[in-house]
């Protein structure tokens, strides 16, 4: 597997994975907008195909934020997500980011466990965060702590 920067021809596969992974997927226009605005956008490639991606940026001066992360269902539980987050964390580290935040649906127990294994802690609940009324759990990784 290789991790590399997103390129425009990857968009179709990214959208396929995004749509299969989320009930409220980001539309292509938003993904392209954040990319054009300079967000980090990495893809995982295996078998000559994009099998996962991560989008992230630095909010404020020193706070990293993971905007989206998803892995093709057929390639889950094979460390693809782990690798993608690891690359993003390294980039954040080089940019002297203090902590990394993300929001995850309260009902997304699998992703909550995944992020906990990667050193993220659950910090707060934001009620009615999503359009369908579901709460978000804010998770945070302190970059001074390991792993
Ligand atoms: C969350 C997600 C990105 C994880 O990707 P993945 O490639 O399957 O994860 P990995 O194989 O790298 O797993 C890393 C660790 O997390 C654990 N983990 C991964 N998914 C898990 C799940 N659903 N339930 C419990 N633990 C899980 C793995 O067992 C592994 O632990 P280990 O190191 O002890 O073996 C993937 O399930 C996904 O795309 N989900 C749908 C989209 C989503 O929820 N995105 C996150 C919200 S923004």
Ramachandran quadrant class, 119 (left: phi over 0; alpha: psi -120 to 50; beta: rest): left
Tell the CATH topology of 2-142: Aminopeptidase (3.40.630)
Ligand 1 atom at shortest distance from the alpha carbon of 115 = 16
29 confidence band (pLDDT: 50, 70, 90): very high
| Confidence check: pLDDT of 76 > 80 | yes
Domain residue ranges of the chain, discontinuous segments joined by +: 2-142
The label of the residue with tokens 């940026």 reads: 57
The protein residue with its alpha carbon nearest to ligand 1, atom 4, reads 81
Helix (H) or strand (E) holding 124: strand 121-126
Tell me the Cα Rg of the chain: 15
DSSP state of 8: G
| Confidence check: pLDDT of 147 > 80 | no
DSSP state of 27: P
Query: In whole angstroms, what is the distance from residue 147 CA to residue 141 CA?
Result: 9
- pLDDT tens sequence across 31-73: 999 999 999 999 999 999 999 999 999 987 789 999 999 999 9
CA of 28 from ligand 1 middle (Å) equals 24
The CB of 81 under 6 Å from ligand 1? The reply is yes
Whether 91 contacts 40, CB under 8 Å: yes
CA of 11 from ligand 1 middle (Å) equals 22
Strand ranges in the chain using DSSP code E only, listed in sequence order: 2-5, 40-46, 49-59, 63-71, 99-105, 121-126, 136-142
The CB of 74 under 6 Å from ligand 1? The reply is no
The CB of 58 under 6 Å from ligand 1? The reply is no
């Amino acid at each position: 597997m290789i991790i590399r920067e997103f390129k425009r021809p990857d968009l179709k596969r990214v959208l396929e994975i995004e749509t299969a992974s989320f009930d409220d997927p980001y539309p292509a226009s938003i993904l392209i907008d954040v990319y054009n605005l300079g967000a980090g956008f990495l893809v995982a490639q295996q078998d000559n195909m994009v099998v996962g991606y991560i989008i992230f940026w630095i909010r404020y001066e020193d706070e990293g934020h993971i905007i989206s992360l998803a892995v093709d269902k057929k390639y889950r539980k094979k460390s693809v997500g782990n690798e993608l987050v690891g690359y993003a964390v390294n980039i954040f580290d080089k940019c002297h980011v203090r902590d990394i935040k993300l929001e995850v649906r309260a009902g997304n127990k699998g992703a909550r466990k995944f992020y906990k294994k990667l050193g993220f802690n659950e910090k707060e609940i934001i009620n009615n965060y999503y359009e369908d009324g579901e709460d978000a759990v804010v998770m945070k990784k302190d970059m001074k702590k390991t792993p």
